[in-house]
Structure 1
Amino acid sequence: MLDTRPPLPPFDAASAAQKVRLAEDGWNSRDPARVALAYTPDGAWRNRDTFLADRDAITEFLAAKWRREQDYRLIKGLWTFTGNRIAVRFAYEWRDADGQWWRSYGNENWEFVESGLMARRIASINDRAIAEADRLFHWDRGETGRRPDDHPGLEELGL
């Protein structure tokens, strides 16, 4: 039996927003195994030009991602929802091994099963080089990486 991952579909505005924030918190932990547990064992992913079909592949993908994308900080925002689907927009900042800072912008479409696990994730992402002085995502990553509640979101930052 699959684990239950509340909030569960069908979503309303509050539960959809909560699901988005929980996903943001998970991704900001940069813990591939923890993040992968939010997906069904046979979860289907498209991330840019990469297609994945199970939790093990998702875990490996995320581990490689966060080795490459250093000082990663992500903000997600609810775009819309219906039934068992949520659309999200996001931006994240990171630096590469050469010290170049980037801001990556994207949209995700999520589909959930009754247990609240994500069965499908479709992500489209674009990267833009930025100067370190142009960074907008400033919070102490601490132990969890969680964005503080008082840190501006995408709308407040004009993103």
Structure 2
Amino acid sequence: MTNPPVPPFTRESAVEKVRLAEDGWNSRDPQRVSLAYTPDSRWRNRAEFVNGRAEIVDFLTRKWTRELDYRLIKELWAFEGNHIAVRFAYECHDDSGNWYRSYGNENWEFDENGLMRVRLACINDKPIQESERAYHWPLGRRPDDHAGLSDLGF
């Protein structure tokens, strides 16, 4: 299975890869998202370790059950060869209506087919008021004309 763009990445293809990842996560479809990763992909997400697509699906199912109205923006930070570093921020709320903006960084490693085999994520959560939300697009893909992280000052 090939998942273009594939390494080695150029600035253009790295930006495209980041946007495709953002779009996938904004679908909130764990099965769809898992297909962007190798069958034996390894993750560190905060202090949780996830191995393989089945665990990715389980992890994302749990995540999006408790992180409601999830909306994410990713931005390329750096790239070289088959590695990409991104920064991101997402907004969501819990079942009690408490809103959060979570900020983080990810380091990615890809195989020759463009599937991610390693994902290392560090994330910090900030409680926000609903009035402080910055992501107001309908659930799903972020519109092309919506501000990115740098534009929002995040």
TM-score w.r.t. length of structure 1: 0.96
2:34 corresponds to which residue? 36
In the alignment, structure 1 segments of 5+ residues that lack a partner are none
Q: Distance in 2 between matches of 1:32 and 1:10?
A: 27
Residue identity opposite 2:143 in structure 1:
P
Shift of 1:47: 0.2
1:5 corresponds to which residue? 3
Listed one character per residue, the Cα deviations across residues 37-68 of structure 1 (whole Å, up to 9, x for unaligned) are: 00000000000000011100001000000000
Partner of residue 136 from structure 1, selected from 126, 134, 137: 134
Partner of residue 151 from structure 2, selected from 141, 147, 156: 156
Q: Distance in 2 between matches of 1:140 and 1:28?
A: 10
Matched, 1:20 2:18: yes
Residue identity opposite 1:147 in structure 2:
R
Q: Distance in 1 between matches of 2:124 and 2:95?
A: 19
- Structure 1 stretches of at least 4 aligned residues deviating more than 3 Å after TM superposition: none
Q: Distance in 2 between matches of 1:157 and 1:115?
A: 33
Q: Distance in 2 between matches of 1:76 and 1:53?
A: 23
Q: How many aligned residue pairs are there?
A: 154
Matched, 1:120 2:115: no
Q: Which has the higher helix share?
A: 2
In the alignment, structure 2 segments of 5+ residues that lack a partner are none
RMSD, matched Cα: 0.3
Q: Distance in 2 between matches of 1:103 and 1:90?
A: 10
Matched, 1:97 2:95: yes
TM-score w.r.t. length of structure 2: 0.99
Q: Distance in 1 between matches of 2:130 and 2:149?
A: 18
Residue identity opposite 1:64 in structure 2:
R
